[in-house]
Amino acid sequence: MSISSALQTGVSGLKANSTAVGGISENIANANTVGYRRGFAQMVTTTAGNSGGGSGVLSVVANEMMDINQAGGLISTTSATDMAIGGNGFFIVSVNPNDTVQTNYALTRAGSFLPDKDGFLQNAAGYYLAGFPYDSSGQLGNVDRSSYASMETVNIGNITLSAAQTTEMEITGNLPSQDTGLATPGAPFETSSEFFTGLGESQRISFSWQPTTNANEWDVTVRDHTGADLGSMTVTFTDSGAMSGAPESYTNITSVATAPSAFSFDAATGMATITVDNGTTPQTLTISMGEPGTFTGITQFAGDFSQSFDRDGSSVGELIRTEINENGTLFGVFDNGMRRPLYEIPVGVVDNPNGLIEQKGNAYSLSGETGAFAALRANSGSTGSINAGALEGSNVDIAQEMTDLIRVQRAFSTNAKVITTVDDMMEETTRLKR
Count of CA atoms in the C-beta half-sphere (13 A) of 33: 18
Residue 51 has pLDDT above 50, yes or no: no
The per-residue pLDDT for range 367-423, each reduced to its tens digit, is 988 999 999 999 988 899 999 999 998 888 889 889 989 999 998 999 899 889 988
- Spatial distance between the Cα atoms of 130 and 107, rounded to a whole number of angstroms: 10
What per-residue confidence (pLDDT) applies to 56? 61
Mean pLDDT over each residue of the chain, to the nearest integer? 90
**Listed residue (18, 1, 47, 8) closest to 411, CA to CA:** 18
Coil vs helix vs strand at 144: coil
- Spatial distance between the Cα atoms of 375 and 344, rounded to a whole number of angstroms: 10
Between 66-80, 267-281, 295-309, the lowest mean confidence (pLDDT) is in 66-80
The better pLDDT of the pair 7, 151 is held by 151
Bridge partner list, 130: 153
Q: Which CATH architecture has domain 168-311?
A: Sandwich (2.60)
Residue 33 has pLDDT above 90, yes or no: no
- Mind giving me the DSSP string for 306-328? EEEEEE--B--EEEEEEEE-TT-
- Spatial distance between the Cα atoms of 264 and 270, rounded to a whole number of angstroms: 11
**Listed residue (148, 104, 103, 157) closest to 130, CA to CA:** 148
In this prediction, residue 49 has a pLDDT band, given cuts at 50, 70 and 90, of low
Say if residues 370 and 353 touch (Cβ distance below 8 Å).
Answer: yes
Amino acid 155 reads N
The per-residue pLDDT for range 66-119, each reduced to its tens digit, is 777 778 888 999 999 999 999 999 999 999 999 999 999 999 999 999 999 999
Burial of 375 (0-12, 13-18, 19+ CB in 10 A): buried
Mean pLDDT value across residues 351-367: 89
Return residue ranges of the chain for CATH 2.60.98.20.
Answer: 168-311
